[in-house]
Homo-oligomer: A and B are copies of this chain.
Amino acid sequence: MEEIKIHLTEKEIPEQWYNIQADLPRPLPPMMSPVTKKPATPPELTPLFPEALIMQEVSKERWIDIPEELRDLIRQNRPTPLYRARSLEKLLDTPAKIYYKYEGVNASGSHKLNTALAQAWYNKQEDVKRLATETGAGQWGSALSMACAILNMKCTVYMVKVSYQQKPYRKSLMQLFGAEVFASPTNRTNAGRSILAENPDSLGSLGIAISEAVEDAATHDDTKYTLGSVLNHVLMHQTLIGLEAKKQLEKAGDYPDIVIGCVGGGSNFGGIANPFLMDKLQGLRKNLRVIAVEPAACPSLTKGVYAYDYGDSTGLGPIAKMYTLGHTFMPAGIHAGGLRYHGMSPIVSMLYNEKIIEAVSYLQNPVFEAAVMFARSESIVPAPESAHAIRAAIDEALKAKAAGEKKVILFNLSGHGHFDMAAYDNYLSGNLVDFAYPTEKVHEALSHLPKI
């Protein structure tokens, strides 16, 4: 009997993270200081990040050890299962094998806990008492709140207002874990106040919330900033996903032809993809296809430019070379709140620019259609973000069917949708609006890129 859920023991949790910087075709362009517009030096980052994470951010070591004490915390919620999607395969009547790694089994509901625990732990080692952060859909805020509860640290979350309104129970979840949560833009920071002065009805954005959290950290000695995506060390912490999936597929006797992840900032995508991309970059799996899936309402890769831009909306944070829609771009209030980010991880950006990975974008309705098909066949309710990956996986499985090819498809089911029922209500009642790329707004936003 072939197991549906391919299991690993707690002992099989990876002991090292994989750092793709060791295998990239060229070094990542340096991050720039928002003040000097010159490469940011580590000391410029210390008001925001603990030293250990700054070192990870710039490291070119291929493997970085996970401290034993941290591994002991990680195993409360890992390894996560790898499922063979046998019911979905049957429904699609496809010769393709579909596997998914399910990261929604922990109470915070997504993969974000992987880096939340790591970041909180390294901060705690350097005696940081409080962590400030932003959250979009709420997954990252939930994960960091949970990590802070585990490590007995304080946590302040700036939650994008549109998500705060759409998902009040995400806020409650963070409060249950002891965090303080504010709807961003707030009037607690200069960044928030300046946005509110311009537009008192602002629904917020990840970029604005980042500005607020960065300012909070920079202006309080006992506090550091944490980011749930985009940065190199964040993607590295997420490689637990792909490293586990590799072991699990090996047990099943398979290796993927196609690896799929949704992208907002790029962390769950990097988490599932990078350990497989290692094989491609090292020339072992030249034909491996890796697909990043983004919403048509916020298509950083498929419609953005590869340029230096601010990571946040008001120009307080570091400047990175990445695919961007412009840091002042304000995406529509789609339900996949976690994918409403103007930029993209520099690592994912380089991989895309070098044509090592592909990208595709979808409107909301086809994404929810895939989510409902998946829920009814596989008995898991996916987060709207993760449903982007499902849509692409289904389409690849249907292509394989048309071509009569036995492809092996792996996608990352990055989180559950238990806090997204309003979105499902909206879809099921036929009220979901499709927002596509608003060309003129992006052109406007791109005129504000910093001169580097």
**Chain A contacts to B: CB under 8 angstroms:** 1, 3-5, 7, 9-11, 75-77, 87, 105-109, 146, 149-150, 168-169, 172-173, 175-178, 372, 375-376, 378-381, 416, 418-419, 421-422, 424-425, 428
Chain B residue nearest in CB terms to A375: B176
Q: Which residues of B contact A75 (CB under 8 A)?
A: 3-4
Q: Are B428 and A176 in contact (CB under 8 A)?
A: yes
Chain B residue nearest in CB terms to A150: B379
Besides A106-B379, A169-B422, 12 more A-B contacts (Cβ < 8 Å) are A4-B75, A4-B76, A7-B7, A76-B378, A107-B381, A168-B421, A169-B418, A173-B418, A175-B424, A176-B375, A177-B375, A418-B419
- Given the known inter-chain contacts A1-B11, A10-B5, please indicate yes or no for A76 contacting B175, CB distance below 8 A: no
Q: Are B372 and A176 in contact (CB under 8 A)?
A: yes
Q: How far is the CA of A312 from the CA of B150 in the complex (A)?
A: 44
Copies in the complex: 2
Q: Are A376 and B87 in contact (CB under 8 A)?
A: no
Q: How far is the CA of A309 from the CA of B168 in the complex (A)?
A: 42
Q: How far is the CA of A223 from the CA of B150 in the complex (A)?
A: 49
Q: How far is the CA of A421 from the CA of B428 in the complex (A)?
A: 23
Q: Are A172 and B421 in contact (CB under 8 A)?
A: yes
Q: How far is the CA of A5 from the CA of B5 in the complex (A)?
A: 15
Chain B residue nearest in CB terms to A83: B76
Output the least CB separation between A83 and chain B (Å): 8
Q: Are B379 and A107 in contact (CB under 8 A)?
A: yes
Chain B residue nearest in CB terms to A1: B11
Q: How far is the CA of A428 from the CA of B173 in the complex (A)?
A: 11
- Given the known inter-chain contacts A107-B381, A376-B149, A381-B173, please indicate yes or no for A1 contacting B10, CB distance below 8 A: yes
Q: How far is the CA of A391 from the CA of B93 in the complex (A)?
A: 48
Q: Which residues of B contact A168 (CB under 8 A)?
A: 421
Give the most central of A3, A150, A376: most B CB within 10 Å.
Answer: A376
Q: How far is the CA of A128 from the CA of B149 in the complex (A)?
A: 49
Output the least CB separation between A109 and chain B (Å): 8
